[in-house]
Amino acid sequence: MENLTHAQLLSFSAVKQVGSRTDCFYTHLETDSRKIDASGVFFALPGVTSHGWDYLDKVASLGGRVAVVPRHLNLSHPVLELIHVEEPASVLIKCLYYMVGLPPKHLVAVTGTNGKSSICFYLTQMAQATGFVSGLIGTFGVGPLDQLQEAKQTTPDLLSMHQLLSKMAGQGVDFVAFEASSHALDQGRLYGVPFQTAVFSNLSRDHLDYHGTMEAYALAKRRLFSFPTVEQAVLCLDDPQAFFMAEVVRDKANTLYYSESNEKADFYVTDLQFHSAGCEFTLCHPQGKTSVILPLLGRFNVQNALAALASLWSFSTNKALLISALKELKGAPGRMEKVSAESLSSASNRPTVVVDYAHTPDALKVALEALKEHSSGRVICVFGCGGDRDRGKRPIMLSTALQYADDVWLTSDNPRTEDPERIIRDAVEGVSEHAFFQVEVDRRVAIVRAITSASDQDIVLIAGKGHETYQDIQGVKHHFDDKEEALRGLALC
Ligand SMILES: CC(=O)N[C@H]1[C@@H](OP(=O)(O)OP(=O)(O)OC[C@H]2O[C@@H](n3ccc(=O)[nH]c3=O)[C@H](O)[C@@H]2O)O[C@H](CO)[C@@H](O)[C@@H]1O[C@H](C)C(=O)N[C@@H](C)C(=O)N[C@H](CCC(=O)O)C(=O)O
Ligand SMILES: Nc1ncnc2c1ncn2[C@@H]1O[C@H](COP(=O)(O)OP(=O)(O)OP(=O)(O)O)[C@@H](O)[C@H]1O
Ligand SMILES: N[C@H](CCC[C@H](N)C(=O)O)C(=O)O
Ligand SMILES: [Mg+2]
């Protein structure tokens, strides 16, 4: 990594010499005052609860010497040299590219209420299979596909996002798929990220605690399609909001639609059949038709796989290789994942147990519908609702579970700072008093009881936590893994 001289910083800021630091240089760039020392440059960015420029005294107290601030604020500081610019984030990116390097050439951004992580995971696998070195930024981790590090957020903050991309390019990565959460789009965390492809999966109720209304939520998602670098928009024709997203795609960009069944789409399927291990269909694509066996459960995973295929189509020279990558796809962790009982003694009447990350009403609906399509037995659903998140979705999740499952166990998800009993009351208040379901606040107990109550013909869906290996109670993350708990239940069958 290159150092940055003060003169270079001024040049990237397009300002003339304002101090006497010509011989200074810096080794790191920061947007968080707590990480500053004398060799760091502080960039003051806007936030939600506070802003970077609220922390200039902290920057100075830690030995910081220089801060890049928005010009319109007319700030001054007794200790720091302030560099006043139109857009600090833009200067930050120029400095970062100089110090670390440019981002990878091919970048795909995926937004939507459900399916972002799955689509990104399939995209990286398919890109890798067709010759790219691919990387990921999302819920499953960040970094090159074979060296994923734990992700702190779905979409990282602006500096981390750019640092990750530049670093990956230095590691030889030339394709990155990343998740664009509505929070990130609203907060400008993707500012300056030069992605060419923007993907939309679907829009349904979630995060109204943050966005307030579905309109505001949809508008936040739509921002992805008006980024100046977008050359290709990939949209799910099965969701009516696709047209709302397409409205802002600029004329020069190419728009591709995918659909589970709609013949008007550029990519769709016919003759869809569900087996116990996956889906089989005829894929219709711009160059004809191909039979495909997709080793993934769930009708919605057909859509997700098509999203990945459509996104890679225009820059894959070998289309046959790209299509054949579909049959090798590995299921995303904790997404419609069957719990293997191979480690247990054989010869028992055990139900099938599936762990899935459905934590919105729509995801619960599609996950339960999918399991019905893949089996003939009863479907039993264990789920809870996350604390400190949209309270309004709780009763809708319970009524969805009651409508689509044969048996329902209402339990806890991540209560976070809320009282788990109150979360359950929120869910129950919205449904008919005649509705029949079990309530067990302890998720461990609920999982074991649901599994031991099931027959070998049944499927138990454990929804909401997917790949998570913790349960957040009052801010403390306790080890918790739905698959481990399911195995304990299966061992008792
Ligand atoms: C509500 C929300 O989204 N808040 C996000 C927001 O926080 P904020 O603006 O309040 O940040 P802040 O702490 O006041 O900081 C503002 C600025 O001052 C700087 N600062 C702050 C403190 C300090 O001491 N010194 C300092 O310099 C910060 O570096 C930042 O530049 O900006 C931060 C930096 O980008 C985010 O980390 C933070 O996400 C919080 C932690 C969070 O939990 N967000 C969740 C809701 C979220 O974003 N979830 C989505 C996934 C949703 C989905 O599943 O679809 C995600 O993308 O992860
Ligand atoms: N295309 C889809 N349509 C509807 N539901 C889906 C779709 N893809 C996945 N799901 C459901 O949503 C759950 C979450 O999937 P995934 O993790 O891919 O979404 P996400 O958008 O990344 O979620 P998050 O915003 O929480 O990171 C899955 O476990 C499944 O139940
Ligand atoms: N990215 C989502 C994940 C929710 C996962 C679920 N297990 C829950 O805790 O509600 C969120 O932060 O809202
Ligand atoms: Mg995700």
**ipTM of the complex model:** 0.95
Any atom of ligand 3 within 6 Å of the Cβ of 465: yes
Task: Find the mean pLDDT for residues 231-242.
Answer: 97
Is the four-CA dihedral 472, 474, 476, 479 of positive or negative sign?
negative
348-401: pLDDT as tens digits: 689 999 999 999 999 999 999 999 998 889 999 999 999 999 999 999 999 999
* 201 annotated as a binding-site residue: no
Nearest residue (CA) to ligand 3, atom 11: 389
Count the Cβ atoms, other than its own, within 10 Å of residue 385.
28
CB 305 within 8 A of CB 336: no
| Residue to probe by mutation, ligand 2, list 111, 118, 303, most atoms within 8 Å of CB | 118
Task: Find the mean pLDDT for residues 184-191.
Answer: 97
| Residue to probe by mutation, ligand 3, list 217, 356, 389, 462, most atoms within 8 Å of CB | 389
Nearest residue (CA) to ligand 3, atom 13: 389
3-state DSSP call for residue 44? coil
CATH 3.40.1390.10 domain extents, the chain: 4-99
Nearest residue (CA) to ligand 1, atom 37: 157
3-state DSSP call for residue 165? helix
Cα(47) to ligand 1 centroid in Å equals 7
Cα(120) to ligand 4 centroid in Å equals 9
Q: What is the pLDDT of residue 384?
A: 98
Task: Quote the tokens at residue 433.
Answer: 């008093």
Count the Cβ atoms, other than its own, within 10 Å of residue 20.
9
Q: Rounded to whole angstroms, how far apart are CA atoms 67 and 57?
A: 11
Q: Residue 150: is its pLDDT beyond 80?
A: yes
Q: Residue 289: is its pLDDT beyond 80?
A: yes
Q: Residue 229: is its pLDDT beyond 70?
A: yes
- Please tell me the pTM assigned to this model: 0.93
Share of the chain above pLDDT 90, in %: 90
H-only helix segments in 375-442? 393-404, 420-429
Any atom of ligand 1 within 6 Å of the Cβ of 51: yes
Any atom of ligand 1 within 6 Å of the Cβ of 183: yes
Q: Residue 20: is its pLDDT beyond 70?
A: no
Q: What is the mean pLDDT of the chain?
A: 95
CB 412 within 8 A of CB 442: yes
Q: Residue 226: is its pLDDT beyond 70?
A: yes
Q: Residue 58: is its pLDDT beyond 70?
A: yes
Q: What is the pLDDT of residue 256?
A: 98
User: Which phi and psi (to 5°) does residue 420 adopt?
Assistant: -55, -35
415-436: pLDDT as tens digits: 999 999 999 999 999 888 888 9
Task: Give the CATH number of domain 348-491.
Answer: 3.90.190.20
Q: Rounded to whole angstroms, how far apart are CA atoms 143 and 340?
A: 28
Q: Rounded to whole angstroms, how far apart are CA atoms 293 and 272?
A: 10
CATH 3.40.1190.10 domain extents, the chain: 106-328
| Ligand number with the minimum distance to the CA of 156 | 1
Least confident of 326-330, 341-345, 367-371, 443-447: 341-345
Nearest residue (CA) to ligand 1, atom 5: 48
Task: Give the CATH number of domain 106-328.
Answer: 3.40.1190.10
Q: Rounded to whole angstroms, how far apart are CA atoms 371 and 475?
A: 33
Any atom of ligand 3 within 6 Å of the Cβ of 414: yes
Cα(270) to ligand 3 centroid in Å equals 34
Decide if domain 4-99 falls under CATH 3.40.1390.10: yes
Q: What is the pLDDT of residue 252?
A: 84
Q: Residue 166: is its pLDDT beyond 70?
A: yes
CB-proximal residues (5 Å) to ion ligand 4: 116-117, 139, 154
Cα(386) to ligand 3 centroid in Å equals 6
Q: Residue 67: is its pLDDT beyond 70?
A: yes
